[in-house]
Amino acid sequence: MELFSAEFFSALLAIVVIDLVLAGDNAIVIGLAARNLPKDQQKKVILWGTVGAIAIRAAATLAVVWLLDIPGLLLAGGIVLVYIAYKLLVEEKEHDIQAKDNIFAAIRTIIIADAAMGLDNVIAVGGAAHGNFLLVVIGLLISVPIVVWGSTLFLKLMDKYPWIITVGSAILAWTAAKMIVDDQFTKAYFDNPILKYGFEILIIVAVLAAGRLKKNSLKKQKVNIEQ
């Protein structure tokens, strides 16, 4: 992938969207962990908790980028990411994060919780980067400040405009499909561009359709229970 080419910027855009959609929810953890602290200490916790979380996230993502060069792991990661894209459409997230009353405990909680919640993000960004470490770093630098300082606004926007989640899920599904067709075990089967792009479109459509059906089913169940 050439630096600052159209392919580079399309991959960067995909990484930023993935970071925002998947990591935006993680920002709630920061607020929950720091909510019992005085206002002046909350800023320090948010800053250092975020720095620690970014460092671990960056290291984990770079490790995944390196590991995905191993034959078969790109295929496995793509299959996992298909499920993550589907889950994004249907899952109702809950946050059971205990508030801490001292700075170091709150920072530790943020870092540990972010690391535990960030596996989907790490796999997705690693796949979208296609081995380009610079893309990972630039994507984090762009999206993390937005997630941390604009998390409340962004989460409200996702609640108000559900199509943002749908777009994010479609990009995840597309990234997953690209991972699958680019793996060394499967690449030979997708030499034909029509077959390759047709498969990518099929995965996107299948994920969005399955997510919509499941969500409609859950809504009906909820209505039946309330009645």
State pLDDT tens for residues 54-105. Answer: 777 778 888 888 888 888 888 988 898 898 889 888 876 555 555 556 778 7
User: What average pLDDT does range 142-153 have in this prediction?
Assistant: 64
Q: Kindly state whether residue 151 falls inside one of the protein's structural domains.
A: yes
Q: Kindly state whether residue 51 falls inside one of the protein's structural domains.
A: yes
User: Where in the sequence is the domain holding 169, given as residue range(s)?
Assistant: 6-226
Backbone angles phi, psi at 102, to 5 degrees: -140, 155
* pLDDT of 27 above 70: no
Q: How far is CA 64 from CA 9, 142, 208, in A?
A: 21, 20, 26
Q: Kindly state whether residue 190 falls inside one of the protein's structural domains.
A: yes
Tokens 């596996």 appear where? 119
Q: What is the pLDDT of residue 49?
A: 75
Which among 5-19, 155-169, 178-192 has the top mean pLDDT? 178-192
Exposure letters 63-85 (e unless 16+ CB within 10 A, then b): ebbeebeeeebbbbbbebbbebb
Q: Kindly state whether residue 1 falls inside one of the protein's structural domains.
A: no
Q: Kindly state whether residue 211 falls inside one of the protein's structural domains.
A: yes
pLDDT digits (tens, 9 = 90+) for 47-57: 777 777 777 77
Q: What is the pLDDT of residue 190?
A: 93
Q: How many whole angstroms separate alpha carbon 186 and alpha carbon 75? A: 8
Q: What is the pLDDT of residue 115?
A: 67
- Greater confidence (109 vs 31) lies with 109
Q: Kindly state whether residue 214 falls inside one of the protein's structural domains.
A: yes
Q: Kindly state whether residue 53 falls inside one of the protein's structural domains.
A: yes
Q: Kindly state whether residue 27 falls inside one of the protein's structural domains.
A: yes
10 Å CB burial of residue 2 (0-12, 13-18, 19+) is exposed
Q: How many whole angstroms separate alpha carbon 127 and alpha carbon 105? A: 33
Number of domains in the chain: 1
Tokens at 198, concatenated: 């047709």
